[in-house]
Structure 1
Amino acid sequence: MKFELENSYEVKDKILQSKIVILPIGAVEAHGPHLPLSTDTILAERLSELLAEKAGAFVLPSLPYGQVWSLRNFPGSINISNDSLISFLVDIGRSLYDQGFRTWAMVNGHLGNQVALKEAARVLYDEIPDFKVFYFFYPGMNAVVKDIRETKSVHGTYFHACEIETSIMLYLAEEFVDMERALNDVPVIDEAADFTPTPWETFTNSAVLGDATLATKEKGRKIIETALEKMVDMLIGGKTDD
């Protein structure tokens, strides 16, 4: 159910019937030559729609901007601060609770947002203990990736415009992927990058972290089906209409 398409005469009763709401959160940033700037937002939107169908939840209009400090100097990237994102999310959460929602799932498509999402959830937890807030970022994907990855990971945490993220896009939004332009770009990321601020232009010109040419829709399907199952289980205890 798309929240923005409801009307104020009927929405209150529908909120009370569900009490679960989902917010897709993405970013505007470089994703190489084969993926659009809004890749993270597109992924968050498509995954949120699938989750809403299984959980009987509302989907809010997407938040398309995120904290992209590491990629802010690449053409097309738009960065907002963690502080701005935290404040914005806390305000949204308070308003959702006032409207009658009791469970809020933030479905994040951009790893750089995760710190702000977690902090916003903590603020809301302290203020409104009976408001359950989740900050999802492909739960369960690490185990799946170990099985499907054909190349060694460039970094222990990051995946970006590579075999993995491109596979997820092929599964959820193939129409926005240009595989003819996919790159095999394997940068060397110094260990110090994990312990000091390091703009990505210091180790990559493309913003691609790995071999995107190896991406497949099937790999993306396995990641998404796992993440979806885990999110549904956390939201409603695994009970669906299926």
Structure 2
Amino acid sequence: MNFALENSFEIGNKITKSSIVIMPIGAVEAHGPHLPLCTDTILAERLACRLAEKVAGFVLPAISYGQVWSLRDFPGSISISNETLIRLLVEIGTSLYKQGFRIWAMVNGHLGNQIALKEAARILYDQFPDFKIFYFFYPGMNKVVNEIRETETIHSVYFHACEIETSIMLYLAEEYVDMSRAICDIPNIDEEADVSPTPWKTFTQTAVLGDATKATKEKGKIIVETALNKMAYMLRRAQNEAI
């Protein structure tokens, strides 16, 4: 259900019937030559809509800007601070709680946002202990990715415009992928990048972290459906516990 297309006369009663609200959160940043700048937002929106169908929840308009410090030097990247994102999320969450929602799922398409989402959820938990908040980023994906990927991972956490993210895009939003321009870029990411501020320009000029040419829709389906099932299970359990 698209929250923004509801009307004020009917929405109050509908909230009492479905206490789950889902918000996609993305970013505007470089994703190589084959994917658009808004890739993370597109993925978050598509995931959120599919999740809403599974749990009969509302989907909020997406937040399309995120914390993009690592990629801010690339053409097209637009970054906001963690502090700005945290404050925005806390204020949106407070409003949702006052409207009557008791379960809020933030579906994140950009790993750089995760710290802000977690902090906002903690602040809201301290204010409203009965407000169940999730900050999802493809839960359950690590296990299946290790089983289906053809190329070795270049980092224990990062995946970006590579075999994995491009596969997800092919499954959820193939119309925005230009595989004729997909490239292979295997950067060497020094371990110092995990313990010191490191702009990605220091190890990649393309913003592609891996071999995007190995991406397939079939791989994307496995990753997405795994994450959707995990998210739906947790939301249904939270809903049952709230009854």
The answer to whether TM tops 0.5 is yes
2:137 aligned with 1:137? yes
Q: Distance in 2 between matches of 1:198 and 1:183?
A: 23
8 A contact 1:187–1:209 mirrored in 2:
yes
Q: Which runs of 4+ in 1 moved over 6 A?
A: none
Q: Distance in 2 between matches of 1:193 and 1:101?
A: 39
Q: Distance in 1 between matches of 2:233 and 2:156?
A: 27
Q: Give the letter aligned to residue 136 of structure 1.
A: F
Local SS of the residue matching 2:40: helix
Could you list the runs of 5+ residues in structure 2 that have no partner in the other structure?
none
Q: Residue in 1 aligned with 2:189?
A: 189
Q: Residue in 1 aligned with 2:86?
A: 86
8 A contact 1:229–1:238 mirrored in 2:
no
Local SS of the residue matching 1:152: coil
Residue 172 of structure 1: how far off its partner (Å):
0.2
Q: Residue in 2 aligned with 1:117?
A: 117
Q: Distance in 2 between matches of 1:69 and 1:181?
A: 26
Q: Residue in 1 aligned with 2:19?
A: 19
8 A contact 2:132–2:238 mirrored in 1:
no
Q: Residue in 1 aligned with 2:49?
A: 49
Residue 206 of structure 1: how far off its partner (Å):
0.2
Q: Distance in 2 between matches of 1:187 and 1:143?
A: 23
Local SS of the residue matching 1:46: helix
Q: Distance in 1 between matches of 2:238 and 2:92?
A: 27
Shift of the 11–238 alpha-carbon distance from structure 1 to 2, 3 Å rule, reads closer
The superposition leaves residues 96-117 of structure 1 with CA deviations (integer Å, 9 ceiling, x where unpaired) of 0000100000000000000000
Residue 169 of structure 1: how far off its partner (Å):
0.1
Q: Distance in 2 between matches of 1:16 and 1:80?
A: 34
The superposition leaves residues 124-151 of structure 1 with CA deviations (integer Å, 9 ceiling, x where unpaired) of 0000000000000000000000000101
Q: Residue in 2 aligned with 1:180?
A: 180
The superposition leaves residues 69-105 of structure 1 with CA deviations (integer Å, 9 ceiling, x where unpaired) of 0000100000000000000000000000000100000
Local SS of the residue matching 1:74: coil
Q: Residue in 1 aligned with 2:165?
A: 165
Q: Distance in 2 between matches of 1:16 and 1:98?
A: 12
Q: Residue in 2 aligned with 1:97?
A: 97
Local SS of the residue matching 2:9: coil
Q: Distance in 2 between matches of 1:238 and 1:209?
A: 36
RMSD in angstroms over aligned alpha carbons?
1.0
Shift of the 120–238 alpha-carbon distance from structure 1 to 2, 3 Å rule, reads closer
Q: Distance in 1 between matches of 2:229 and 2:195?
A: 34
Q: Give the letter aligned to residue 155 of structure 2.
A: H
Quick one: percent identity of the two aligned structures?
A: 72
Local SS of the residue matching 1:151: coil
Q: Give the letter aligned to residue 4 of structure 1.
A: A
Residue 154 of structure 1: how far off its partner (Å):
1.1
8 A contact 1:232–1:238 mirrored in 2:
no
Q: Distance in 2 between matches of 1:148 and 1:205?
A: 27
Q: Distance in 2 between matches of 1:156 and 1:51?
A: 27
Residue 237 of structure 1: how far off its partner (Å):
2.9
Shift of the 183–196 alpha-carbon distance from structure 1 to 2, 3 Å rule, reads same
